[in-house]
């Protein structure tokens, strides 16, 4: 697989990473541990060198899983993890106090079976802690050699600028896909200006862009999508037009909708590295195929024209979770 640089940070990763959250959290029953380890190792064998986790995924179990899976080739991969929730529990809200950041780093190093965290993200901006203090705490960890690069997630432009002035931000991780394009307005230009890489999560619209979800789909009771406005039955039905557009383009390219969605993201900027997640080996193989799909300028114009005909229905998050997204 081709490699990409995350902005001007010097951090080189595979063009596609692997989002590991779903292997233990948020999308229904997790796969058996050995099956999850095999999937992670297969991703590495297929050229993926960038793996994303967080203390909140589980909590804690995802980091432990990734640490075991990547131990045989630790020095050949880039591991990203995150701090920012009280006791590692999303339900308890944010906690990015410097002492908490230090504690999370020490615990993550043990779970990941490593001596350094390649990319350490603030999971969500904490309104109770000045972002300069957060960046300063990560800067100290970098000076100690425990962290290599600082990242932010779902951060707004002002927070990014303020943090970057204290400790250069290597990457921003936020949602971006054909059905969530808000970052194009303000965030992408800012990242280009500052030389920060962009790591889109949910690049396949939490599975919707794959064409495998429709109005009749039933999610497991523990699946996070049950509470998302965009995934109500009514909105799934209303949003099928977007899937149809992507599927039609995919048919012309002898590709799958997922591959087109990923190739489209990769074509936006050379410093964008999507991190699709999956629990299935055949989906992993399919996603990796998206990294080698070439979209011409004509293809991209056709896609843009088609996407303009579709208005996506439903909010990205319910109100209580949307409130955590920094502006």
d(CA 195, CA 81): 21
Kindly report, residue by residue over 87-130, the tens digit of the pLDDT. Answer: 999 999 999 999 999 999 999 999 999 999 999 999 999 999 99
* Residue 7 to residue 177: CA distance in whole angstroms: 19
Q: HSE-up of 223 (CA within 13 Å, CB side)?
A: 14
Domains of the chain: 3-205+268-293 (3.20.20.100)
* Region 5-30 average pLDDT: 96
User: Is residue 176 annotated as part of the catalytic site, yes or no?
Assistant: no
Q: Take residue 234 and report the two structure tokens written for it.
A: 């009514």
Q: Compute the average pLDDT of residues 14-28.
A: 95
For the ranges 19-23, 81-85, 188-192, 309-313, which has the lowest average pLDDT? 309-313
| pLDDT recorded at residue 28 | 87
Question: 116 and 146 in contact (C-beta within 8 Å)?
Answer: yes
The catalytic residue among 27, 57, 121, 176 is: 57
- How far apart are the C-alpha atoms of 11 and 22, rounded to whole Å? 25
- Is the pTM for the entire model greater than 0.75? yes
Is pLDDT above 90 for 7? yes
């Amino acid at each position: 697989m081709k490699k990409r640089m995350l902005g001007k940070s010097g951090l080189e990763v595979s063009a596609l990473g692997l989002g590991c959250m779903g292997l233990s959290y948020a999308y229904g029953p997790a796969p058996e541990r050995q099956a999850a380890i095999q999937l992670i190792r297969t991703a590495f064998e297929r050229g993926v060198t960038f793996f994303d986790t967080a203390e909140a995924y589980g909590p804690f179990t995802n980091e432990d899983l990734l640490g075991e899976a990547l131990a045989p080739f630790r020095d050949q991969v880039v591991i990203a993890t995150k701090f920012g929730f009280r006791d590692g529990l999303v339900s308890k809200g944010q906690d990015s106090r410097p002492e908490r950041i230090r504690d999370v780093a020490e615990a993550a190093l043990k779970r990941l079976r490593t001596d350094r965290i390649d990319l350490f993200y603030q999971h969500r901006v904490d309104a109770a802690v000045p972002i300069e203090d957060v960046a300063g705490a990560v800067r100290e960890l970098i000076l100690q050699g425990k962290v290599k690069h600082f990242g932010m997630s779902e951060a707004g432009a002002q927070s990014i600028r303020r943090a970057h002035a204290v400790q250069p931000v290597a990457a921003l991780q936020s949602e971006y896909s054909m059905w969530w394009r808000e970052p194009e307005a303000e965030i992408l230009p800012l990242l280009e200006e500052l030389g920060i890489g962009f790591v889109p999560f949910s690049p396949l619209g939490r599975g919707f862009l794959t064409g495998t979800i429709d109005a009749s789909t039933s999610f497991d009771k523990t699946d996070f999508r049950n509470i998302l406005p965009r995934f109500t039955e009514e909105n799934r039905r209303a949003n099928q037009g977007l899937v149809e557009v992507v599927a039609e383009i995919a048919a012309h390219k002898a590709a799958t909708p997922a591959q087109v969605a990923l190739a489209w993201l990769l074509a936006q900027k050379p410093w964008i590295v999507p991190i699709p997640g999956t629990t299935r080996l055949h989906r992993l193989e399919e996603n990796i195929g998206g990294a080698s799909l070439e979209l011409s300028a004509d293809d991209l114009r056709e896609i843009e024209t088609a996407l303009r005909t579709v208005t996506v229905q439903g909010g990205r998050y319910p109100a209580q979770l949307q409130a955590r997204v920094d502006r």
